[in-house]
Amino acid sequence: MRTWVMMGGCLLYSAAGSGAAVIFDLGGVLFIYRKQDVHAAMRGTRKTSPFKPIDAGIALVRRCRAQIDAHGVRKHRLYILSNFAHDSFTILQRFHQPILDLFDGIVLSCRVGYAKPDRRIYEHLLRLYQLKPAECIFIDDELPKARAATAVGMHGIVCRNHSRVANELRRLQIF
């Protein structure tokens, strides 16, 4: 299991290759859930995960992660940028840590004090991981949040259909 380190209100791991950074939202892109199920899990009345992985979303993460250069180094760094609440994320970790281990870093609004689509959370992620906006692709299921990423110089993709996201990632030469 990967060891995460808390730094500046964010969970950190390691940087990968020098290619693009692909940044994923959690809800609606990688997981679906109902708030009442999350609340039941918080109260301890639910013993199974309230979060259901979206297979097509997880497949995109794995495909991005699998891209390697001629030297065997991963081409892309992968991040999560989410408005998940602290308790919700704790439950997600308990049930789905292996999925979270696929990422190089995680920024949560509950830990940094501002939420998407506030431009400061995108700028925070860029500063924290020393990313260049033009080399970042942000995937979210809500148009205002993808637009906010675009406003700070990232490429924003609205995820309403994972096949279309895959096509866009191919177009951007991620895979």
Question: What SS3 string covers 87-128?
Answer: HHHHHHHHHHHHHHCCCCEEEEHHHHCCCCCCHHHHHHHHHH
Alpha-carbon distance of 26 to 38, in angstroms, equals 14
Which CATH code for domain 12-171?
3.40.50.1000
Q: How high is the pLDDT of residue 45?
A: 87
pLDDT digits (tens, 9 = 90+) for 58-84: 999 999 999 998 898 999 999 999 999
Per DSSP, the residues of 54-65 read -HHHHHHHHHHH
Q: Give φ, ψ of 146 to 5 degrees.
A: -70, -40
pTM of the model: 0.89
Q: How far apart are CA 69 and CA 75, in angstroms?
A: 6
Q: Are 13 and 105 in contact (CB under 8 A)?
A: yes
Give the Å distances, CA to CA, from 9 to 12, 105, 124, 128, 139.
10, 12, 10, 10, 22
Question: pLDDT tens track of the chain, all 175 residues?
Answer: 333 444 444 444 333 345 799 999 999 999 999 999 998 998 988 889 999 999 999 999 999 999 998 898 999 999 999 999 999 999 999 999 999 999 999 999 999 999 999 999 999 999 999 999 999 999 999 999 999 999 999 999 999 999 999 999 999 999 9
